Amino acid sequence: MGKDGLFCLCGRATLGYPRPVGNNCPVGVMFGFIRFFLALVCLAMPGFAEASRDRIALVIGVGDYQHLPPLQNTHNDASSMAKTLENIGFDVTLSMDPTSEEMGRQLESFAFRSEVAELALIYFAGHGIEVQGENFLIPADANVASNRDVQRQSTSLKQLLAAVEHARKMRIVILDSCRDNPLGDSIDLTTLANETQAGEATRGGGGGLAAVDPDRGTLVAFAARDGQVALDGNGTNSPYAEALMQKMVQPNLEISLMFRQVRDLVLQKTGNLQEPHTYGSLTGVPFYLTGDSNSALPAGTSDAWSALKPDQEEQLLALAELGDTRSMLGLAYMRLNPNAGQFDPQAAVAFLQRAADAGAPEAQFELAKLYERGTGVERDEQKALQLYQAAARQNFADAINDLGFLHHQGGLGLPPNAKTAYEFFRRAAELRHPQAQFNYAALIDDGLVPGKGPKDSAQFLYAALRSGSSDVLNLLSDRPNMFTPATRRELQKKLKEKRFYQGSIDGDFGPGTQRGIRRAYGLED
């Protein structure tokens, strides 16, 4: 964008360094000698591999309950699902009939591993019930006679979500156990193995799990929508597991369309008795569980959406007509690709406007950029600012980080205000925006954030590494002395606490510390 040398072609600049960090990204000086860093990836220095692209999965099947009615197919479903996921490139941990304590340990371990994974997925097949609006998955040793017993002895859906929440690109939780607790404060265990009109056992009693609203970038899939039951099935696998495994292996099927097709297939298989449902707001980045072995899928967002086959584009158009905002986003990205036949910025604006009006924060953010630049629409700085602010109110981290920059430098009619800028950077950092995490660490290290010190700065640097920022990795490797010795020592302590580093706490980022930094990032020696 080029304003006062503070912008780079690849995005908006925020806080950085007292000296330039790359020939292709000039920096400026604001509010004294404050470091400059790019909000969007721009440094791209050679010398290190990209973040780990691991896809990890935890597959849990509970069928042999010690105190509850057994389930016929959950072991088969879990075993088959584990093999399917392994065949499409997942590192799978399979757990059969875990106790409550075992499930807790597995989730804790999985949560740590997920921080450096591209995709973290949990699949659970077993009894699940709702208690007072919260969903619980029942371990093998649970002995429940009341709602309180369920809450104390079971694993909540919130715990599963916490175990995947730090994965870098995609987070998926799949429950083939959609049940509730229909009996209020007392549980009649005999009702947990109901018979449907079709004579098939269900995986619980009553009428389904409670609807959920996970964080953006997280998808929760129920085998049956809230208020419905999931069938165990009369064959080897449950209808849902069977449909899911069939669609998972289909090449180049975008994930949102994949789950839509799973829904349609289950409805067909069960005579409309069971309707799967997904909850959550995925990012606008297209994602594929399986690609063609002979061709790599494009990495860029617009290129990847443009690579969809015509039949999938037609599905997106149909879903957009039904009000699906992510489909609108995908269609807009297609029309913002100058290298594709669908290039049409004005049509992109129309799709983004519909999605923005429906409250989609990513659409608001992308539309703001178009208004700021005058792409596909007449340039309007006030409209751009309003859209950035609307996205930020929904905790869209990119918008919050950009507003931090705009308040810091002044832009889109905003006067420079360092105090407000720092608050925006803090908000974005706490939402795990990697560049904002680095920026906020730099501000703390410079003594510009009251009440924060070297330990806080090191914590945000560590978080930026775990978030997968290659820029932060490169800078800590090439220019560690940009931070004070006190911050460097605290980062070494953090690396040692997490067993990435075993050396001295001296602030010297020698070979041992550098190995620890790379390991924390997700790279193997």
Q: Give me the pLDDT at residue 41, please.
A: 32
Give the predicted TM-score (pTM) of the model: 0.81
Q: Is the pLDDT of residue 327 over 60?
A: yes
Higher pLDDT, 61 or 45: 61
Which pLDDT band holds residue 107 (cuts at 50, 70, 90)?
A: very high
Higher pLDDT, 472 or 42: 472
Residue among 345, 172, 137, 163 at smallest CA distance from 258: 172
Q: Is the pLDDT of residue 290 over 60?
A: yes
Asked if the 55-279 domain carries CATH number 3.90.1150.10, the reply is no
pLDDT tens, position by position, 150-200: 889 999 999 999 999 999 989 999 999 854 443 344 454 344 434 333 444
CB 398 within 8 Å of CB 433: yes
Q: Give me the pLDDT at residue 197, please.
A: 39
Rounded distance, CA 114 to CA 473, Å?
A: 18
Q: Would you state the CATH architecture of domain 301-394?
A: Alpha Horseshoe (1.25)
Residues facing 311 on adjacent strands: none
Q: Give me the pLDDT at residue 20, please.
A: 25
Find tokens 């995005």 and name the residue.
11
Give the other-Cβ count within 10 Å of 414's Cβ.
16
Rounded distance, CA 364 to CA 374, Å?
A: 15
Q: Give me the pLDDT at residue 292, please.
A: 60
Higher pLDDT, 134 or 496: 496
CB 15 within 8 Å of CB 404: no
Rounded distance, CA 162 to CA 38, Å?
A: 29
Q: Give me the pLDDT at residue 284, please.
A: 85
Q: Is 117 left (phi over 0), alpha (psi -120 to 50) or beta?
A: beta
Give the other-Cβ count within 10 Å of 290's Cβ.
17
Q: Is the pLDDT of residue 434 over 80?
A: yes
Q: Is the pLDDT of residue 266 over 90?
A: yes
pLDDT tens, position by position, 84-98: 999 999 999 999 999
Rounded distance, CA 494 to CA 284, Å?
A: 33
* Domain segments of the chain as ranges: 3-44+415-521, 55-279, 301-394
